[in-house]
Structure 1
Amino acid sequence: MFTKEYIDSLPKDPLLALSKVTDKTLDFWDDIPPNSELNNIDFFLEAYAISNGLIEHLPEIRRYSPNLNEHQEKILDNLIVYFKNLKVDISKKLISIKTAHLTEKYSALLGNSFSYEFSEGDLKRIQELINQLRDHVTSSDYFDENHKTRLLSRLEKLQSELHKKMPDLDRFWGLIGDAGVAIGKLGKDAKPFVKRIKEISDIIWRTQSRAEELPSDTPMDLLSSSDDSET
């Protein structure tokens, strides 16, 4: 059965988690000896319930509704068809995501488009800060489970997409919004979280301003300073 330890070990990204649950379910089905007693219906019903919970966070994955108002053998057949269809959709989505990431990566590396380039030191530091953020969110009691899942998913994607050369930095600027939400929800308790996001944003701004050939001392609050000067 799907133990709590197994559920806790699933990737925070719901698509990757769904892929693992689907593979586990189909592998279990393949291991059932031919003509054996079909006494494992609970396993497949539990897998179906878990997959439904994950799909709630994946609007891009089609929702299938296997007919469960049948006798046990037919229900089992319907669930296997469900998981096989699900595996096809997951595989297509994962390939699409991987292709997009590789296209971005090599487009920048080959110089076919404008790209931002991190120094080795900055790249290493961002990785360290993302790891610290992930540990902080995981161990924190201040974030509710839904908020924690969203944050961990964003951090996992950021880390997987981080390369020395990148065509844009939009994903990182999205962390500023997460910091604002954390301050609004947690107040002073958000300080460790916000402090690390602030350091990441400083590195991102330094990298972006260098690529745009701005003066090295250009402050990140340039727009707000400009507004203040006009009033």
Structure 2
Amino acid sequence: MFFSEEFIRSVEENPIVGIVEACNMGNQRLRELESHDGWNESEHELLWEVASFLELVIETNQLYIDIVFPEATGEIDTNCKNLSSYVNMVKEHFEGHSIKLKIDSYKGRYQTAFKAAFAYEFSQGDFDRIQSLINEIRDHIVANNHLEQDHKQRLLRRLENLQGELHKRVSDLDRFWGMVGDAGVVLGKLGKDAKPIVDRVKEVAEIVWKTQARTEELPSNSPNPMIGHNENT
């Protein structure tokens, strides 16, 4: 398998950047395999694998583009030319989007370093408590025997990403509210067995809401509309 499981996981998290990186990796390997006698079997195999991987990522993430996946023929030369063209067109299509995402990521990293920039800031006590709760949520997910393995791995990766980007000052709270959505899915799948996870997610959400409300200068007693304040429940 040309693409490692670690790389595949990174593509799941950021498919557009991953598509461009997959094209670059394929082209780099193609240059290493290049011979002076035309297309060879190794290049043929590699191009089919890279192109098929790209097509799967595009379909899975519904990134529909006006580039047609090439049909197989009985000629290696024809296949390789068509596949190479497909890989490069896909790269060209997504490269601009990938660069913009990287720029946004860099801006996000540095934005919170500037005190003048808008940011949400946790108290030290709240920050430490969120760290502890995330660790507890991770432990409960690992120990749960009723979640499908794929779902469990997705949740653990999201927790890892959240914890990796967690600082006292953050430019947005999107990942936290995404975790609330994840908790809803777990609750739907596990019912009462999800309670240890959901309870901790609720506590994280309350801390996040308190921080957001304070930053946005809402009244101190403003209820959290996301969890636990629905009068119909």
Normalising by structure 1, report the TM-score: 0.71
Q: For the residues of structure 2 that align with 1:86 and 1:125, how far apart are their CA atoms?
A: 44
The aligned counterpart of 2:81 is 77
Higher mean Cα deviation, 178-187 or 80-89? 80-89
Number of corresponding residues: 225
Pairing of 1:160-179 with structure 2 (within 5 A): 162-179=166-183
Q: Using a 3 Å threshold, how does the CA distance of structure 1 residues 130 and 86 change in structure 2: closer, same or farther?
A: farther
Q: For the residues of structure 2 that align with 1:135 and 1:17, how far apart are their CA atoms?
A: 29
Percent same amino acid among aligned pairs?
A: 33
Q: For the residues of structure 2 that align with 1:193 and 1:163, how far apart are their CA atoms?
A: 22
Q: For the residues of structure 2 that align with 1:139 and 1:77, how far apart are their CA atoms?
A: 50
Q: For the residues of structure 1 that align with 2:27 and 2:144, how far apart are their CA atoms?
A: 35
Shift in Å at residue 38 of structure 1? 0.6
Task: Quote the RMSD (CA, aligned, Å).
Answer: 4.0
The aligned counterpart of 1:23 is 24
Shift in Å at residue 180 of structure 1? 1.7
The aligned counterpart of 2:99 is 95
Helix, strand or coil for the counterpart of 2:60? Answer: coil
Higher mean Cα deviation, 43-52 or 99-108? 99-108
- Deviations 1:43-86, CA, capped at 9 Å, x for gaps: 32122222222112333463532433442112112211222222
Shift in Å at residue 14 of structure 1? 4.9
The aligned counterpart of 1:35 is 36
- Which is bigger in relative contact order (C-alpha 8 A, separation at least 6)? 1
Give the aligned residue type for 1:180. G
* Equivalent in 53, 70, 75 of residue 50 of structure 1: 53
Does structure 1 residue 190 correspond to structure 2 residue 202? no
Q: Using a 3 Å threshold, how does the CA distance of structure 1 residues 98 and 128 change in structure 2: closer, same or farther?
A: farther
Normalising by structure 2, report the TM-score: 0.70
Asked if structure 2 preserves the Cα contact closer than 8 Å seen for 1:21 and 1:47, the reply is yes
Higher mean Cα deviation, 149-158 or 26-35? 149-158
Q: Using a 3 Å threshold, how does the CA distance of structure 1 residues 33 and 109 change in structure 2: closer, same or farther?
A: closer
Q: Which runs of 5+ in 1 are unaligned?
A: none
Give the aligned residue type for 2:13. D
Q: Which runs of 5+ in 2 are unaligned?
A: none
Shift in Å at residue 166 of structure 1? 3.3
The aligned counterpart of 1:208 is 212
Asked if structure 2 preserves the Cα contact closer than 8 Å seen for 1:19 and 1:87, the reply is yes
Q: Using a 3 Å threshold, how does the CA distance of structure 1 residues 185 and 43 change in structure 2: closer, same or farther?
A: same
Q: For the residues of structure 2 that align with 1:87 and 1:47, how far apart are their CA atoms?
A: 12
Asked if structure 2 preserves the Cα contact closer than 8 Å seen for 1:14 and 1:54, the reply is no
Does structure 1 residue 62 correspond to structure 2 residue 65? yes
